[in-house]
Structure 1
Amino acid sequence: MSTDPSSNPAASGAAREDTFATNDGTELFYRQWPARSGKPKGAIVLLHRGHEHGGRVAHLVEELGLGDFTFYAWDARGHGRSPGERGYSPSFATSVRDLDSFVKHICETGGFAIEDIAVVAQSVGAVLAATWVHDYAPRIRALVLASPAFSVKLYVPFAREGIWLWQKLKGQFFVNSYVKAKFLTHDPARIASFDNDPLVTRAIASNILLDLYTNAERVVDDARAIIVPTQLLISGSDWVVRHEPQHRFYENLAHPLKERHVLKGFYHDTLGEKERAIAVAHARRFILACFDAEPAPLDVTNAHQTGFTRDEQDRLSSPHDLLSLKGLYWAIYRSSIRFSALFSKGLKTGVETGFDSGSTLDYVYENEPRGMGPGGRLIDKQFLNAIGWRGIRQRKLHLQELIGFALARLRDAGRTTHILDIAAGHGRYILDAIAKADVKPASVRLQDYAPINVDAGRKSIAERGIQDMASFHQADAFDAEQLTAIQPAPDLAIVSGLYELFPDNALIKRSLDGLATSMQSGSLLIYTNQPWHPQLEMIARALTSHRGGEAWIMRRRTQAEMDQLVAAAGFKKIDQLVDEWGIFTVSIAERT
């Protein structure tokens, strides 16, 4: 067993050991240290480094000197006393969702509001925390990140590319850490405990290592979407991770309450270093300052007028000189799409109706390559396998999951189950979801503005023989008065793939206000968002929209922005799902 008292939970006072259930039913282990005061001021969540477990951050419970707070430390999936193959998780996104489940469990069982939560995380745990705050936009009070592993030093040339290729050829495998404990910390006790701790694992699954890189790059580049107070502790002599992404992450952070401290001579185990009292003092002061002040979330509901996503949209809207290299490149790219549309059914549908149209999305949902001959089908397969379309299909699965959840919740609450989808396209995703749901709705009203979608939707309803339950209407999703007058009033309203197409938040507010007015307390809203996309420029420069063939230029909404718009209309977010690439989210909220 470990000989280092700082890695022994018992050394930090009595710890209660328990488990919580993740979204997929896995029971993960965690420790809890109750606040010494009668009523805790808040909760502090401790996230350990990769290869380690919650016991190795237990010393912080005493050293932070925050006796008025309840502390929690988990063993991440595949680590410590939690189940799973050592060093493995199905995906990095799975582990991020595990963290979301953990914090929800803490709030539910401890009686904490999300604003009462602070997170202190190190290395891989810090990347998990940063990704969670970016993708799920929780309104936590404070975030302290110590030496986040945004870019691990693999030292071997082309190691990352080699791992990717080997996984592609042979499937998922494990990589053993090369780092010796003496390069993690100067503390002899920590070195000895690391070497002798049977719960420390050297292995990390190849898929997690690759996911770590890709998610870290996304979060660092898009850190302006993070709007919670954040402190960054950087080890000055880190052998394990690179400094540059940490500094870039800090520079991109949006919240005005942010701090960066470079700790001279510190190795990678920042919070387990010999002189860690320096780092711990910074974290303690920052957390107390955040809790001593009232929660002051950054308002981003006007990001369509001023903000980095508006700037991004403006850049994408600015044309290139046709004779410039970029202008020529995109002109050739657009020509190649029109030429390929002669052979590919999917590209032809996109060119004719717009790549954001209901017809194109319906084709993407079908996911059956079609075209002129084998070559046309091959082009169509490549089109359907684009990462954006894969995300769309995953969004459909997440919609099905939350629609089923919503119907069951309404039934269990003794409520009616009238569904309204204000922009259903062809209606395939919702009709498929209803067919798979255990609870069938009392009625389904589908709407869309485009006659072609209404006709296709009515045909689909007739083919399924559900005319007694479902109907399709032509209507404007942004007409608040029309939404307010809908009867029966919806118990479950769905807005999928609509708000992402319109950059102006005034439109979104009008639509949400109309829905909120029509819905009673306890009714549910399912809404989608697109906080990030790896192909924004290609879409803007090469693809056309359903609006008269004009360029399809999107303004991303951060998850925080979308959630704030929903909250302002009178809804409280309950849960959220996101694909493994962080492109599309599906959330559910309750009318309050």
Structure 2
Amino acid sequence: MNFQTDYMTQRPVVESHFKTSDHTSLFYRYWATEDITDKAIILFHRGHEHSGRIAHLVDELNLPDYAMFAWDARGHGENDGPRGYSPSLGTSISDVDEFVRYISTQYQIPLENIIVVGQSVGAVLVSAWVHDYAPKIRGMVLASPAFKVKLYVPFARSGLGLMQKIRGLFYVNSYVKAKFLTHDEKRIESFNRDPLITRPIAVNILLELYKTAERVVADAGAITLPTQLFISGNDHVVHHKPQHQFYERLNTPIKEKHVLAGFYHDTLGEKERHIPIEKMRSFITKLFEFPRYQHDYQFEDTWSVSADAFRALTAPLPNWCPKNIAYKIMSKSMSSLGKASEGIRIGYDKGFDSGSTLDYVYRDKAQGNGLFGRVMDRQYLNSIGWQGIRQRKVNIENIIRQAIRDLTDSGKPVHIMDIAAGQGRYIFDAINDYGKVQSVLLRDYSSVNVEQGRLHIKERFLEDKIRFEEGNAFDADDLAAVTPAPTLGVVSGLYELFPSNELIKASLSGLARAIPSGGLLIYTCQPWHPQVEMIARVLPSHQGGQAWVMRCRSQGEMDALVDAAGFEKLNQSIDNWGIFSVSIARRRNPESNSK
């Protein structure tokens, strides 16, 4: 038997490549329609496999009016580079975003007319992408998502994590035999003979797969996209429980779940796969029978999973609750011994969410009283939240530079306004070509931040380019009156601090009135935070020592606020942990804005 049997389709296929933002070339297959179409289905394969293994779906779905696409994920199939390797799972999730947007642009298919289908690891990548990026696609189909892989060796994850710390990067070979993936004898034989099957997986990807899946399942309430889920009833590879939890937490009225009795893990490659394929075809065609479903985010700050979570964090824990006792001990320790750390001392003095704290975290140089203080400060600076903050700084600087280039290339002047700049460090570090920037206005509510920012301006001899003023980021009329009118607005790390959307709406309204048509807005979001309860129970904010209680906004909610203000989202970056995103949007022509 020729191993390419699974690759062959009746519909002609075109093989091509696209370049990711880090200049990696990824292979993909494209099956066109006979007539011009504006609808597409994008297929994402299992771990260890490649696009050829799911090519059979092109014919079996029997949807001739839909263009079909399937990629080889980084480290798989026809792609160059180490087998089973990606720099991070976050990189692979970003690849999904870039691939889908590439398909939309290259083949002139609107995002709202795209449906994505993911199986196993491909389903995790798809669901994490939908969670982190909130794409405005039509819907998604997930088959046996690998939210929790079965590792039959006790404490395997802990052991692999320890070995990674000792050995660094190494690879783990798949234990799964083809006969435990499907009952289809032809599929079993073709799998065993396929030279493009990738047995090894990099340990960083395997461990990050677990962590990413756990947060996506836990926060599935942030996903509002129409979803169809297939669960294989006799799956030897992944656990069922997280799949059911994910489905129950999905925040969409358009969802359906099918448990397929007796099916092995290769759900869409099983012997009786016509059963799920018929259900897929019905689901997909129904989604196109009515306008694209859009979740109503109007009251998200009051009636939502995140609003409930915020209210729970503001409620005190029972006095003798073990968790409450642990947090009180932590608070007492940090506010006493912890102040030997310079970062913790600044946090208690200025607030852990203050501009002074952020500026210290950006510098990332451990300081404190003696060796003990410096060691504690290093642990503090290495916390996952502060790692995310530093990655956000890198991402926002990159997007600011790209925005400057885009404005310059389009012949527009570059007038930058940051409405809550803290001490301005990321702006100073981002603007590395001052000849292309006509003016920069930095504003902040804190006189301390303004004073420090002005000192930075003098140190860098930028008085002729940059001015720093006190200002209220939520005063719409004040923002709208700024001169010169900003062509690039920046708001970073501000909206995340306020649970209500009313202030955010006022701020965005002022920015929309200030920024002319075609101008750009860069904004941040915090869709999720792994330490949100510890922060709420232990750390004081800049607001008079009050508890620092955060409401994590989903990316969909934040994008909806920006869209309603008159901006069209263009692109996004997010850290590997899914904590902080940075997005850029373009101001629509107010006359054509019907929102």
Q: TM-score, normalised by structure 2?
A: 0.97
- Shift, 1:41, TM fit: 4.4
5 Å matches for 1:333-412? 333-412=330-409
SS at match of 1:12: coil
The superposition leaves residues 52-88 of structure 1 with CA deviations (integer Å, 9 ceiling, x where unpaired) of 0001111101100110000000001110011221010
The match for 1:499 among 492, 495, 502 is 495
The match for 2:125 among 102, 123, 128 is 128
- Give the aligned residue type for 1:78: G
5 Å matches for 1:66-77? 66-77=63-74
Return closer, same or farther for 1:374/1:590 CA change in 2, 3 Å cut-off.
same
RMSD: 1.1
Give me the whole-angstrom Cα distance separating, in 1, the residues matched to 2:478 and 2:210: 47
- Give the aligned residue type for 1:551: A
- Give the aligned residue type for 1:215: T
Return closer, same or farther for 1:438/1:88 CA change in 2, 3 Å cut-off.
farther
The match for 1:52 among 31, 46, 49 is 49
SS at match of 1:327: helix
Give me the whole-angstrom Cα distance separating, in 1, the residues matched to 2:434 and 2:255: 47
- Give the aligned residue type for 2:221: R
The superposition leaves residues 460-487 of structure 1 with CA deviations (integer Å, 9 ceiling, x where unpaired) of 1111110000000000000000010001
Give me the whole-angstrom Cα distance separating, in 2, the residues matched to 1:192 and 1:439: 63
- Give the aligned residue type for 2:531: Q
- Give the aligned residue type for 2:476: A
Answer yes or no: is 1:519 the counterpart of 2:515: yes
| C-alpha contact 2:408 2:436 (8 A) present in aligned 1 | no
Please name the residue that 2:24 is paired with.
26
The match for 1:296 among 270, 293, 298 is 293
The match for 1:94 among 91, 96, 100 is 91
Please name the residue that 1:542 is paired with.
538
Give me the whole-angstrom Cα distance separating, in 2, the residues matched to 1:472 and 1:200: 57
- Shift, 1:16, TM fit: 0.8
| C-alpha contact 1:340 1:379 (8 A) present in aligned 2 | no
The superposition leaves residues 248-307 of structure 1 with CA deviations (integer Å, 9 ceiling, x where unpaired) of 000010011000000011000000000000010111111111111111211123211110
Give me the whole-angstrom Cα distance separating, in 1, the residues matched to 2:3 and 2:202: 28
Give me the whole-angstrom Cα distance separating, in 1, the residues matched to 2:251 and 2:487: 36
**5+ long unaligned stretches in structure 1:** none
- Shift, 1:562, TM fit: 0.3
Give me the whole-angstrom Cα distance separating, in 1, the residues matched to 2:338 and 2:277: 60
The match for 1:202 among 199, 204, 207 is 199
The match for 1:455 among 441, 451, 461 is 451
Please name the residue that 2:566 is paired with.
570
Percent identity between the aligned chains?
A: 55
SS at match of 1:292: coil
Give me the whole-angstrom Cα distance separating, in 2, the residues matched to 1:27 and 1:567: 32
Please name the residue that 1:154 is paired with.
151
- Give the aligned residue type for 1:84: G
SS at match of 2:29: strand
Please name the residue that 1:581 is paired with.
577
| C-alpha contact 2:9 2:58 (8 A) present in aligned 1 | no
SS at match of 1:574: strand
Give me the whole-angstrom Cα distance separating, in 1, the residues matched to 2:208 and 2:289: 37
- Shift, 1:571, TM fit: 0.7
The match for 1:441 among 437, 456, 469 is 437
The superposition leaves residues 418-466 of structure 1 with CA deviations (integer Å, 9 ceiling, x where unpaired) of 000000001111111113x586311000000111111111111111110
The match for 1:16 among 14, 17, 30 is 14
Q: TM-score, normalised by structure 1?
A: 0.98
The match for 1:211 among 205, 208, 211 is 208
Give me the whole-angstrom Cα distance separating, in 2, the residues matched to 1:367 and 1:44: 44
Give me the whole-angstrom Cα distance separating, in 1, the residues matched to 2:337 and 2:362: 20
- Give the aligned residue type for 2:576: E
SS at match of 2:300: coil
Give me the whole-angstrom Cα distance separating, in 2, the residues matched to 1:17 and 1:355: 52
Answer yes or no: is 1:332 the counterpart of 2:329: yes
Give me the whole-angstrom Cα distance separating, in 1, the residues matched to 2:165 and 2:474: 46
- Give the aligned residue type for 2:81: G
Give me the whole-angstrom Cα distance separating, in 2, the residues matched to 1:303 and 1:290: 24
| C-alpha contact 1:115 1:141 (8 A) present in aligned 2 | yes
| C-alpha contact 1:408 1:439 (8 A) present in aligned 2 | no
Equivalent pairs counted in the alignment come to: 588
Give me the whole-angstrom Cα distance separating, in 2, the residues matched to 1:129 and 1:568: 26
